[in-house]
Structure 1
Amino acid sequence: MATPSLVLVSGEHLDQLRAGLARYEQDYEVLTATSCAEALDVAERVRASGGQVALFVSDSRLPDSAVLTAFHAWRTVVPTARRMIAAHVDWFLEDAPRLRGGMATGKYDAYLLMPQGPRDEEFHHAVSELLSDWGSTVAAPEVESVRIVTPQVDGLTLQIRDFLDRMGLPHRVHAPDGDVARLAREGLPADAPYPWVVPMTGVPLAPRSVRDVALAVYGRASAEDLEQVVDLAVVGAGPAGLAAAVYAASEGLSTVVLEAEAVGGQAGTSSMIRNYLGFPRGVSGMRLAQRARNQALRFGTRFLTGWQVDQVRVGKGDEPHVLCTDQGEVRARAVLVASGVAYRKLRVEPLEALVGAGVNYGAAMTAAREMTDQDVFVVGGGNSAGQAAVHLARFARSVTVLVRRDGLASTMSSYLVNEIDYNPRISVRPHTRVVDGGGEARLQHLVLEDVRDGTLETVAAGGLFLLLGAEPHCEWLPPEVGRDERGFVLTGREVPRERWVDGLPPPELATTVPGVFAAGDVRAGSMKRVAAATGEGASVVPLVHAWLAGPVTGGPGASASERLDTPDRP
C-alpha cells in the first residue's frame, strides 16, 4: 500500500514550511511545490501512481495564483484531500480577513500561522485533527481491530462496516480465499453464511444483524450487573443520552446506557458538524460521540451496546422501573428516554428492495466510499442532508440534492447552503421527489417527479441517500408515557392538563410517569439540533437528583440523597 502524501506549497517560505512539518516525514511522503501549477502536477503524479494525497498545506500567497483558486484546482484532482493554509508571520494578520471567509464555504479547512520553531503543538494539533479526519473517512486502516470475510459487499456487510466506523473500530474486508478466511473457517460451521466477522477476541461469528456484532465486540452483561438497581438508565446513546451519562456519572449517580446500535445516534453519521460550540474546525459526529462515550466511561458509566429495549415495566411506589431486553432486565430508579428518531421511509417498493445496494437511509459514511465516480442523489433539506451531500462530493462524480421546496434556505443552516453553492460537484434540484427506480442487483436509475406539474424524468443513479425527516423510536414505551399524535414523547407543559398533578405540569423534561424523563429528538417540541439535545441531556440530571431525593429523606433515591447539597455545578 502506497504511503499517503502531504503536499506543501510556498513560493517564498518553502524551507520554513517543510521544517515545521518535518515530524510527519516518518509516516507520510512529504512532497513540495513552489506554485499552484507545480502542486497540481505533483498531485496528478501521486494519483496516477495509485497514491493518495491526504493534505495540502499552502502559504497564504502563491506566485501564480490566488490561494483559494489554487485549492479549487487541487480539489478537482484530489477531492478527498484536506486543505490548510499555513500563513507566514509577515502575512498572517494582513491576509486573515480576506481568506478566513473561505472556511465558511468549505474552500479549505484551517487557517493557521506557519510554525516559527519546534514544538508548535497548537499547529500540530490542527494538522493531526485533519489527518485523523482524512484517515477515518478515506484511507484504508493500517491496524485492524475487526476483520470481515465476504466475497461481496452486500447490505449486511455495509451495515456492519458503518457500525464499526461509527464506533471508531478500524477494520478491513478480506476475500474468502485468504489466510484470515482460513483461520475464521476453523471456528465456524461448514455452512456458515457470509459475512464472517472476527472481532478482537479472535472468536469468529457469522452475524445476521449488526446487534450480533455489537454483542460480540462489547460483550454481554454479567449476572451481577443485572442484579443491581442503578440510579439512572439511559435508553439511547445519541447526544442527549451521552450528555446525561457524563453529567449523571460525574455527580456520582450509578448510570447505565443501553444502545441498540452505534453510539452517536443520527448525529454519529454526520461526516462533519461545523457549528458545534468549541470545535472551530468542525468535528465528525462519530468523533464527537466517541469522545463523549470515553468521557462517560471515565466517570463510571456502564455501556450496554447492542441492547435493544423492548419494553418498560413502570415501577409502583418505591419499586424501580424495569427495562426489558433480550439480554436480560435492567432495573433503575430513574429512566431517561433518549432513543432519538429514525429517518422516515420513502415507501417506494422497488427502492426499498435495494436498501444496502445503492439505496441508503441516513448519511452512511461507509457507503460514501463506495460511490466513487457515481452520480448520487440526496433526498432531504435539513442539515444532515447538507452534511451528507458535502461528504459524498469527495467521492462521487456528481451529487444532486432533491427537495420539494423552492430551495434549501428555509430548512438548512446558511453555512451549509453556502458550502453547497460553492461546491461544483453538488447541485440542488427543487420541486422534485423520487417516485420510482431500480436496477439489476443494485441501484442503477431513479424516476423523478416535478411536484408542480407531475412531469417524470428517468435519470442514471449509482446511489440514493434518504434523509427524510424524523419518526420517533417510541414503540417500546408503555401506554402510561404520554405521546403526541406523531408519537413524540410529551414532557412539561406539553402534557395535556388532564394529566397534570395537583394542577401543575411535570417539570420541563419529565414525562407523565414519575421517574421517567425524555430528552433530545424523541421529545415533542425539541429543536432537533445536536447542541440542543446535548443541553437537554445535561439538564435532565438535576431533575433526576430531585426525583431520587424524593419529597422526604429516604425516598426512592435514598442512596443518592446525600449527594444533593450541591446547588451549582460546572
Structure 2
Amino acid sequence: MATDKKPIILAVDDDPQVLSAVDRDLRREFRRDYRILRASSGDEALEIIRELHQRQEPLALILADQRMPGLEGVELLEQARALFPSTKRVLLTAYADTTAAIRAINNAHLDYYLLKPWDPPEELLYPSLRDLLAAWQATYRPRFEGLRLIGFQWSPLSHELKDFLAGYMVPFQWLDYENNPEAEALLAGTEYTAAELPVVVFEDGTAMARPERAAIATKIGLASKAAQELYDVVVVGAGPAGLAAAVYGASEGLKTLVIERQAPGGQAGTSSRIENYLGFPTGLSGAELTHRAWMQATRLGAELLAPQEVQEMCIQDGYYKVLTLTDGSEIRTRAVVLTTGVSYRQLQVPGMDRLNGAGIYYGAARTEARSCEQRDVYIVGGGNSAGQAAMYLATYARHVYILIRGESLAASMSAYLIEQIGNTPNITIMPYTQVQEVRGDGHLEEVVINNNGQVEAREAQALFIFIGTKPSTEWVQASVICDPKGFLLTGRDLVADPRYPQAWKHNREPYLLETCVPGVFAAGDARTGAMARVASAVGEGSMAIKFVHQYLDE
C-alpha cells in the first residue's frame, strides 16, 4: 500500500491527563515532520503497531508509560522491537520505576527513559527526543513507492523484465528473493509463491506472476491498439532514426504512428554514456536521449504502440500499405518508414544457450551492473558499445576484461573511448583472445578463453557480448529488396547495383531513402550503407519525412 505520509511518533499512557499532555508537547515540537499518534493502553498500542507494520508505514519513535494495566511499557517495547527493530524506544517512568527502566535497557534494547514530570519540555523532553529522532533519520530509508519486481538473480525471465522496464524508464525496485528479506515479506502479501517467480507488484498493490510484457505495458499505460483507421506515415522501430522520424512527422502535421516491438531507443538506448552526440558536451545516457525524444514525439502528437510487432506488410489497391501485427490486427497507412535497426549477433560456443540471461547478456550492461559488484566480468567485442559498457561496468566490478580478436581497439572504437579505457585501472584489454566455452550450474561461473593459443578457464560473474550486428528485417524481406546480409536497399542502389536488375520498376527515380516499394522508406542502421552512428540515424529519420511529403504530394 503506497503512502506519502510522514513518519510516526506513538505516545502510550493509560492516564488521560498524562497522555493529553504528552500529545500536546509532542505536537508542539514535532508535528511539522512527524505524525503524532496516541494510545490509551499497551494492548491498543500493540494493535496500532501491528497495523502500521502491515501497511509498511514508518514508525520513528515509541514513548510508552511503564505502569499500565494489562500490557506494561517494557513488555510493549519488547514486542514492538520484533516488528520495528530500528524504531527508537523511550520509557516514561516515575522515579520508583527506574528498576523497570534498567530492565528495559537490557531486554527491550531501550534507547532512553524519561522521568515524570518532564516540565519544562524544552529542557527535559525535546533535547533527548531530537537526538533520538536524528539518529533514526540517519539510518531510515523511505519505502520505495512504485513498481517492484521480485525474482531470482539468475532467472532469464527476471532479466527480460528488468530490461523491459528499464527500456521504458519505468522506476522499479529489484528484489532478489534469495538475498533480500524484504522480497519474501512482499511476496507473502500476494497470492503467489516462490515457485511462480518472477512477480511484479504494482504501486496499487496488485501483482502479476511471470507476466507477459504486453500485460505490463497495458498496466503502466502504454498503448497496444491504434487510435486511427488510417495514418499518413507509420514508423516501424523506435530507435534514434524512428524517433526522429516521429518528431518531424508529427511536428509537420502528418498523422504519425510509431510501432516498437521491444523498447524505445534501440541499441543506442542501452548505451550507458554517449559522449560524441552534438550539443551534449558532458555526454548523456542512451536512455536519457531516448526518453527526451519519445516525450518530444508524443507531445507533438505522434502515437506509440509498444510492445507491438509487425509481422507482414502488403500493398492494397496499389497505394495503401497494410501492416499486420502479431496480434492479428491491421494498420493502414499511406507511407511507411522502416527504422527496424539491428540486433546483436549471437556468440556460438558451448554453454551459451543454457546460460543466456543467467550471467550472459547481449548489450544489457545497465540492468545487470549492480549484480557484478566486486566481481570479475568479461566483455566480448571492440566497438563503441563494448567500450561504453566497459566504462560503466568498471564503476561496479572488481575488474573488467575486454576480449578482442585483433591486436587493438583502434580500428573499431572511437579514440575518446580508447583513451578513457586506458586511464581506467580496473579495465584490461586482452588482444588475440576469444571465448571458447562458458560453464556454470544454473548461472555463469567460468569463461574458457583462448588467448593466442593458450586455453584458460577463468572465474566470471558475467559475460557481456557485443560481436557485431545483423539487420532486423526478416519480416519485411518478402516485400522489399535487401542485400545478401539483409540490409535494406534504397535510392540509387536500386538502379545502380548490377546485382539487382529491375529492382526499381517505376517511371520516376526513387527518392534517396526509398525502398523498391514506392512510399516505403528506410532509415538508420538497417539500411545498406548506414554509418551506424546516432547522429546519422537521427539525420536519416528526419530526412525520410521530407521524402514522405514528396511522395504524398505526387
Contact 2:365–2:392 under 8 Å retained in 1: no
Shift of 1:455: 2.9
Contact 1:519–1:537 under 8 Å retained in 2: yes
SS class of match (1:156) = helix
Q: Distance in 1 between matches of 2:375 and 2:214?
A: 30
Contact 1:321–1:335 under 8 Å retained in 2: no
Shift of 1:480: 2.7
From 194, 201, 204, the equivalent of 2:207 is 204
Counterpart residue type for residue 181 of structure 1 = L
Shift of 1:154: 1.6
Query: Residues 413-449 of structure 1: CA distance to partner in whole angstroms, max 9, x if unpaired?
Result: 0000000011001011111111112012211111112
Q: Identity of aligned pairs, percent?
A: 42
Shift of 1:503: 7.4
Is 1:472 aligned with 2:471? yes
* 2:425 aligned partner: 424
Counterpart residue type for residue 263 of structure 2 = A
Q: Trace 1:96-495 onto structure 2 (pairs within 5 A).
A: 143-150=144-151, 152=153, 154-174=155-175, 175=177, 178=184, 180-185=186-191, 193-200=196-203, 203-222=206-225, 225=226, 228-326=229-327, 328-450=329-451, 454-495=453-494
Residues 541 and 201 (structure 1), Cα distance of their counterparts in 2 relative to 1, 3 Å cut: farther
SS class of match (2:395) = coil
Q: Distance in 2 between matches of 1:141 and 1:272?
A: 29
Contact 1:215–1:306 under 8 Å retained in 2: no
Contact 2:239–2:341 under 8 Å retained in 1: yes
Query: Residues 66-119 of structure 1: CA distance to partner in whole angstroms, max 9, x if unpaired?
Result: xxxxxxxxxxxxxxxxxxxxxxxxxxxxxxxxxxxxxxxxxxxxxxxxxxxxxx
TM-score (normalizing by structure 2): 0.69
Residues 540 and 355 (structure 1), Cα distance of their counterparts in 2 relative to 1, 3 Å cut: same
Shift of 1:314: 2.5
Q: Distance in 2 between matches of 1:440 and 1:405?
A: 31
Residues 413 and 317 (structure 1), Cα distance of their counterparts in 2 relative to 1, 3 Å cut: same
* 2:545 aligned partner: 541
Q: Distance in 2 between matches of 1:513 and 1:478?
A: 12
Q: Distance in 2 between matches of 1:212 and 1:513?
A: 35
Residues 504 and 227 (structure 1), Cα distance of their counterparts in 2 relative to 1, 3 Å cut: closer
From 530, 533, 551, the equivalent of 1:529 is 533
Q: Distance in 2 between matches of 1:152 and 1:261?
A: 22
Contact 2:483–2:528 under 8 Å retained in 1: yes
Residues 199 and 247 (structure 1), Cα distance of their counterparts in 2 relative to 1, 3 Å cut: farther
Q: Distance in 1 between matches of 2:361 and 2:145?
A: 25
Q: Distance in 2 between matches of 1:273 and 1:338?
A: 20
Q: Distance in 2 between matches of 1:457 and 1:221?
A: 49
Q: Distance in 1 between matches of 2:274 and 2:404?
A: 21
Contact 1:273–1:285 under 8 Å retained in 2: yes
SS class of match (1:480) = coil
SS class of match (1:249) = helix
* 1:561 aligned partner: none
Counterpart residue type for residue 436 of structure 2 = V
* 1:43 aligned partner: none
Q: Distance in 2 between matches of 1:142 and 1:285?
A: 28
Q: Distance in 1 between matches of 2:252 and 2:469?
A: 32
SS class of match (2:290) = helix
Q: Distance in 2 between matches of 1:481 and 1:312?
A: 10
Counterpart residue type for residue 219 of structure 2 = A
Residues 221 and 169 (structure 1), Cα distance of their counterparts in 2 relative to 1, 3 Å cut: closer
Aligned-CA RMSD value: 2.3
Contact 1:511–1:518 under 8 Å retained in 2: yes
Shift of 1:179: 5.5
Residues 158 and 255 (structure 1), Cα distance of their counterparts in 2 relative to 1, 3 Å cut: same
Counterpart residue type for residue 479 of structure 1 = A
Query: Residues 205-238 of structure 1: CA distance to partner in whole angstroms, max 9, x if unpaired?
Result: 223544443343234445xx35510111111110
Query: Residues 11-58 of structure 1: CA distance to partner in whole angstroms, max 9, x if unpaired?
Result: xxxxxxxxxxxxxxxxxxxxxxxxxxxxxxxxxxxxxxxxxxxxxxxx
TM-score (normalizing by structure 1): 0.67
Q: Distance in 2 between matches of 1:179 and 1:440?
A: 28
Contact 2:308–2:325 under 8 Å retained in 1: no
Q: Distance in 2 between matches of 1:274 and 1:414?
A: 11
Residues 333 and 405 (structure 1), Cα distance of their counterparts in 2 relative to 1, 3 Å cut: same
Counterpart residue type for residue 357 of structure 2 = G
Structure 2: stretches of 5+ with no match in the other structure: 1-140, 495-499
Query: Residues 279-314 of structure 1: CA distance to partner in whole angstroms, max 9, x if unpaired?
Result: 111000000000000000110111111101111123
Query: Residues 392-432 of structure 1: CA distance to partner in whole angstroms, max 9, x if unpaired?
Result: 10011111111111110111000000000110010111111
SS class of match (1:317) = coil
Shift of 1:277: 0.5
Residues 391 and 234 (structure 1), Cα distance of their counterparts in 2 relative to 1, 3 Å cut: same
Query: Residues 355-398 of structure 1: CA distance to partner in whole angstroms, max 9, x if unpaired?
Result: 11111011430111111111111111110000000001001111
SS class of match (1:419) = helix
Q: Which moved more, 1:354-363 or 1:491-500?
A: 491-500
Counterpart residue type for residue 510 of structure 2 = P
